[in-house]
Amino acid sequence: MSKAGYYGKLFIGGDWHEATGGKRRDVINPANGKVIGTVAAGTTADIDRAAQAARTAFDSGVWSGLPGRERSRVLLKVSQLIRERADELAEAESADVGKPIMFAKNIDVPTAADQFEYFAAQAQLLDGSVRNAPLPVHAYTRREPVGVVAAVTPFNFPLILSSSKFAPGLAAGNTFVHKPASETSLSALILADIVTAAGVPRGVFNVVTGSGSALGDHLVTHPLIDKIAFTGSVEVGSHVAEIAGKVLKPVTAELGGNGPNILFADADIDKAVGTVISAFVFNTGQFCMAGPRLLVERPLYETVLDILGKAVGGVPLGDPSNPGTVIGPLVSKDQLDKVSGMVEAARAAGARIVAGGRKLDIDGGYFYAPTVIADINDRAPCVREEVFGPVLTVQPFDSEEEAIARANGTRYGLAAGVQTTDIARAHRVAARLEAGIVWVNGWAMLDPSIPFGGVRNSGWGRESGEEALLSYTRSKSVVIALG
């Protein structure tokens, strides 16, 4: 991986800086446990500097005051540079997260570029409307940027989940302070270099790396910051919403998920099982919109278990830098221990381990075998809570009503799936699933034009689509007397 000169520094006000106090933390490659570099350990003083730079840039109008068409041209350049630096970004993402290089190159980088390209077009369409009030007035609305946005992003999709905030937020004219996950900050630093090269003005985009526990509350409650865009766990998201609410600051939050995938007996079984596997092993299961809960109509239950038990062991697992690898390591030893502990609890409670169920000793990395668990009840932690690893629970059902009730039976509501060849059933079940996005006969079919986000404990607000753009604006009404 390239040793970029700005690794280990913060990006504030258009320049690279050491953290206040000069401290850094090691970056660990989860595939082998080795140190691959350092990032700055930012402090609250660095948050202050970044917030002031973003506020000064916003108030100056150097970005917010540009016509949408001019912002559009810059965002198109960002998209172009992401594609030109695809290898560098993919290598950093793979080494930092443990993400298979195949996915980093073919999914993460193109998705980030697509986000900027899509919202470059949307920047030109942002507009208000005239209102026909029964008064002697001319009334209209304006869509204006919110101001300074604090973007807090997680470890699993650093590039995609940051771009899904920056692209609409910048398109609307906002400025940013970005606090990436402490474990996976490298692509955020590359992106800072890219947006600067594309022509985003100084101070509009700022990156402060460091510990979330040390910086989070200060960032969320900072008086110079106007909005919080957060992706992360339910517990941290709840805390962010609580402290932001005390200072009446708007928050959009995409939180955890525990997606149910319902496989009906009329499904194309070969296609459905392939979808099931990809839904729970993609990104080593570290995917909020994964499908770790499979509900199978009873006539197919043992058949599907047999197919899964034979198939998942053949999914290529190992060194994420190998182009053929599909499953890489988990992001850290702590995450590996959490996943292992949840599976062992299921085993101890009498669940049947159909496949996997063990840590793997590969080059000192944090690997866990793709795991299929059967004969498990609805109260088991592996069913009720987000495992965030390559673990699939499989449960039978006897009726459509039962499948829907069990699918909706957790506190989450981020993503869900329906596998069926009955088009009427597909529409009927999709309408009743409590999730922000429902996929039919597939999984993770995403595009910058398609919004996604959570309901219930999976959060509120939407990423992607027109909905995301509007969430980075506020509406102002102008009413002019005509007499």
Which of 440, 394, 383, 390 has its CA nearest to residue 415? 440
Residue 138 in 3-state DSSP?
strand
Q: What is the largest CA-CA distance in the chain?
A: 80
φ/ψ region of 441 (left if φ > 0, alpha if ψ in -120 to 50, else beta) reads left
Catalytic residue chosen out of the listed positions 9, 105, 165, 249: 165
Catalytic residue chosen out of the listed positions 93, 117, 254, 434: 254
Neighbours of 8 (CB within 10 A): 21
Angle at 333 between CA 154 and CA 386, to 5 degrees: 50
Residue 206 in 3-state DSSP?
strand
Is 174:72 a contact under the CB 8 Å cutoff?
no
Residue 134: which residues within 8 A CB-CB, separation 6 or more? none
382 given a catalytic annotation: no
Which of 261, 237, 254 has its CA nearest to residue 444? 261
463 given a catalytic annotation: yes
What b/e sequence results for 415-447 when a residue is b if at least 16 CB atoms lie within 10 Å of its CB, and e otherwise?
bbbbbbeeeebbeebbeebbbbbbbbbebbebe
| CA 452 – CA 435 distance, rounded (Å) | 9
Catalytic residue chosen out of the listed positions 288, 297, 386, 434: 288
165 given a catalytic annotation: yes
Q: And the tokens for 344?
A: 């062992």
Catalytic residue numbers read: 165, 254, 288, 463
